[in-house]
Structure formats: C-alpha cells, structure tokens
Amino acid sequence: MIDVRQKSKHAVSTQFPVINNCLQIGGMPLTRLTQRVGGTPFYAYDRQGISERIALLRKHLPEEIHLHYAMKANPMPAIVQHMANLVDGIDVASVGEMGVALDTIMQSERISFAGPGKNAKELSSAIAANIVLNMESEQEMELIAQLGNKLKIRPNVAIRVNPDFELKSSGMKMGGGAKQFGVDAECVPLMLKRLGNLKLNFVGFHVFSGSQNLNADAIKEAHEKTFQLGIELSQDAPSPVKMLNIGGGFGVPYFPGEKPLNIAAIGNHLKHLLPDVKRALPEAQIVLELGRYMVAEAGIYVCRVLERKYSRGQVFLVTDGGLHHHLAATGNLGQIIRKNYPIMIGNKVNNCEKETVSIVGPLCTPLDLLGDSVELSKAEVGDLVVIMQSGAYGRTASPTAFLGHPLPVEVLV
C-alpha cells in the first residue's frame, strides 16, 4: 500500500490508499465500487475520511470550541446525518437545507440559518423550528419580530456582522468593505438597542469573513479581530452573548504548490486567545463553522473515458463526466484563473507509461474542461478518471440541468 501523495506531482493530500495500482475508497477498489454503483459518473464520499477530519480538528482546537458544519459545502442527507454525530451544530443557508438538518439528531437550537433575502415563509418555518436566525439586516430583524408575534414564538436571533476588516489571503471574501452579507459593524450598536425592544431572544453574533484560506497567519489575525469586535459589540447587547460564531474559511489544497492549512497553529492561537474572551463573554459558546474543510478531501468524482481523441498533436480524453456535474473542477465556480484539480487514472494510478492529455466532458462548450494538459498514466477507453478533492461544492454547486444529461449518483462509503 502506498500513499498517493508520494507519487503525484499534484497537491493531493488524500487519505486514499492505492493497492495493485488501483485507488481504494471505502475499503474497496475503485473498480469494484464502480460496479456496485452501476456505472459512471458518480461522486463517492469516504465516511471514515470525514470522521478523521473532524477528529483532527478536535485534536488541534481547544475543546471549548464548538464545531459547526456549514452544510452547503455538501448537503447530501447521508453526509449530514453522519456529520450530526460528529459536530456540535449545523449551519444552513436555506429552508431546504434546514429540513435536512432537522431530520438529524441535532437539537434545533444548534442549527443556525444565515443568508440574505430570507422571506416571510422561510423565516416562519425557521421560527417554528426554533433554530437560530443569523440576521443579515435590520429589515430582516423587524420582519422576524413581526412573524414571531404572529406565531406567538420568541425567535432566537443572532446578528451577522460585516466586520470592518477583511480576511487576508481568502479565496472568496465575504466580509469587510461593502457587502451584501451581514450588518456593517458600525451599525450594530443601534440595531442592538432596537433588538432590546422587540420580542426576540438575543443569542449573539456571527462573523464570517471569507472562504478557502490556506494562510494560518491570516486566519489567526481574523480570529483576534473577530474576538475584539464581538467583545466590543457585546457592550450594547440587551443580554449576555451566548454564542459568538467566528466563521471558518479554512481552505484545502487544490493546486500544485498549495500546502495544507496549519491547523495546529490556528488551534494554539485560539488556546492563547480564549481566556480573555471567556473573561469578557463568560456565557458565550465560541463557534467555528466549516464546510469545505470538513468534507472536500473526503470526496472524489469518477467518470469514464469514452474516447481518445487526437486533434493537431493533442490528446483529448472524452469522458462521461464534466462541467454539468463538477463546475468547480472546470474552474468556473468563481475562480479567477483556471487550474487543474488533482486528477488521476483511478484504475492505473502509477503506470510507468505517462501521457499529457486534456480531459473533457460531453457538453458543447469549451468550458467543459476537467483537466488541461495534465500528465497522467496513459489511459484507454473504459478507464476511470478520478478528480480528487471533490467532496465540497461539487454536485449541488454545478448546473446539472445544463444540456439535460442525467444527474451523477452520490454514494457515502
């Protein structure tokens, strides 16, 4: 058994072993799993990999930190069920996700709902479900209070704060400057005054500043500033802060040269910061909400070579998978520069004979490019192309209706 890491030039930090040249997932060869699934293309997620990732977080983070799963990264119900046994809360971004989270054993007060533009119907369901509403605006607060009165339920609310700082080195910035997310920090004190006059159960603050960050120093700095901000804002709160959600943003390595996040450094820094936070906010649970980091590396996307096509000196592997299933791997999910995800030929991981190929899907658009001039084991028709690091923002972040091909299957093994 060898570790894929040593054999690949890619930034693969996968836990999947290789036996007899074949990738193993869920304790079985990929070829066997493909037979079990009934064909390609499909996503496979490794239950043990997810559990190990949560264990890694628990090992390095102070035990007082509450871990929440931001389920939009991968809302597959089986994964959310599994996750509910491992984490302390679930963050949802829609009523659809809320339904999946409520189907788990997770207590409703440990489920929170963030996102702009929540409408009255969605808010009413969430209030009735007794989850925590992360309010994105003052207008939303007024609506929640009205709906609570009507339903005769006192809603649990937190204020999502748009901080006055940015998360540096973040792949996607979601806080700082002018943003559609949260309430500008300088407007929060007034909002808190108003909140105190409404029939709302104030829970605390939520600060989420960005996504896909591999720079531990940047995250440490954001944590420090987030605590400062939370403590400062708490002075205007109508009741003690019970929850301070400091966001997440932990990234995973996708591209050559990217290194895994130094989680130990982040954990040590939190250990160092927590005593002061506890003194200032003695009743507050400190929450970290992570999506990508918890699931990305535990998932693969598998498609099959349908044809080897030659065009003016280049080799194209035409596959039955593509952009409609895995938008992010084609570089079209908000990436500025297209880079290849780690890819391998799953049933010929380490063949001596290599070939530089482009991997394309069946869509009639040049954007349908899963791999651009990648060196892989030489593949024939029928071989299995595997895109690694595919457990987050995969199927549900892809335009699956585009061109009307069938949906990819998803399995948790």
292 binds ligand PLP (CB under 6 A): yes
Site membership for ligand PLP, residue 73 (CB under 6 A)? yes
H and E: helices and strands count for the chain: 11, 23
Amino acid at 306: L
To ligand PLP, the closest distance from the beta carbon of 392 in angstroms equals 6
Kindly tell me which residue out of 75, 155, 176, 291 binds ligand PLP, with binding defined by CB under 6 A.
291
3 state DSSP class of 33: helix
| Cα 145 from Cα 106, distance rounded (Å) | 25
Q: Between residues 220 and 304, which has the closer beta carbon with respect to ligand PLP?
A: 220
CA-based nearest residue to 196, from 146, 150, 145, 253: 145
For residue 121, give both structure tokens. 């119907």
- Segment interacting with ligand PLP (CB under 6 A) among 66-74, 276-284, 336-344, 395-403: 66-74
Contact with ligand PLP (CB under 6 A): which of 18, 57, 114, 133? 114
Note the helical H segments in 290-409.
Answer: 292-295
Q: Which residue is nearest to ligand PLP (CB)?
A: 291
Residue 269 in the binding site for ligand PLP (CB under 6 A): no
Binding mask 207-246 for ligand PLP (x = CB under 6 A): -x--xx----------------------------------
- x/- binding map, residues 16-55, to ligand PLP, per CB under 6 A? ----------------------------------------
Q: Does residue 70 bind ligand PLP (CB under 6 A)? A: yes
Q: Which of residues 364-393 bind ligand PLP (CB under 6 A)?
A: 392
Residue 406's φ and ψ, nearest 5 degrees, are -65, 160
Distance (Å, rounded) from C-alpha 342 to C-alpha 254? 7
Distance, in Å, from the CA atom of 80 to the CA atom of 296, rounded to the nearest integer, reads 14
Judged by beta carbon, residue 210 or residue 321, the one nearer ligand PLP is 210
* For ligand PLP, the closer CB: 49 or 291: 291
Report the C-alpha gap between 252 and 12 in whole angstroms.
10
Q: How far apart are CA 304 and CA 382, in angstroms?
A: 6
Does 293 contact ligand PLP by CB under 6 A? yes
Closest approach, Cβ 160 to ligand PLP, in A, equals 7
| Residue 149 CB, nearest approach to ligand PLP (Å) | 27
What's the full length of the chain, in residues?
413
Q: Label residue 404 exposed, middle or buried (CB < 10 Å: 0-12, 13-18, 19+).
A: exposed
Q: Looking up tokens 């339903």, which residue turns up?
A: 151
Is residue 165 within the footprint of ligand PLP (CB under 6 A)?
Answer: no
Within 38-126, strands assigned E span 42-45, 65-70, 89-92, 111-113
From residue 351, alpha-carbon distances to 20, 21, 40, 287 in Å are 11, 8, 22, 45
Query: Does 248 participate in binding ligand PLP (rule CB under 6 A)?
Result: yes
Please identify, using beta-carbon distances, which residue of 16 and 293 lies nearer to ligand PLP: 293
Choices 224-232, 285-293, 352-360, 372-380; region in contact with ligand PLP by CB under 6 A: 285-293
Cα 378 → chain centroid: 33
Question: Considering only residues 10, 72, 82, 242, which one is a binding residue for ligand PLP as defined by CB under 6 A?
Answer: 72
**Measured from the CB atom, is 127 or 158 closer to ligand PLP?**
158
**Stretch binding ligand PLP (CB under 6 A), from 1-9, 41-49, 229-237, 289-297:** 289-297
In 3-state terms, what secondary structure has residue 409? strand
CA distance 268 to 347: 41
> Which among 14-22, 44-52, 269-277, 287-295 is the span making contact with ligand PLP, rule CB under 6 A?
287-295
| Residue 210 DSSP SS3 | strand
Q: Bridge-partner residues for 3, per DSSP?
A: 17
Specify whether the CB–CB gap between 277 and 242 falls below 8 A.
Answer: no
CB of 210 to ligand PLP, least distance (A): 8
Q: Which stretch, 26-34, 70-78, 118-126, 353-361, contacts ligand PLP (CB under 6 A)?
A: 70-78
Binding mask 390-409 for ligand PLP (x = CB under 6 A): --x-----------------
Measured from the CB atom, the residue of 41 and 249 that comes closer to ligand PLP is 249
Nearest to ligand PLP of 388, 392 (CB atom): 392
In whole angstroms, what is the distance from residue 355 CA to residue 357 CA?
A: 6
Map residue 36 onto helix, strand or coil: helix
Residues engaged in binding ligand PLP (CB under 6 A): 70, 72-73, 91, 93, 114, 208, 211-212, 248-249, 289-293, 392
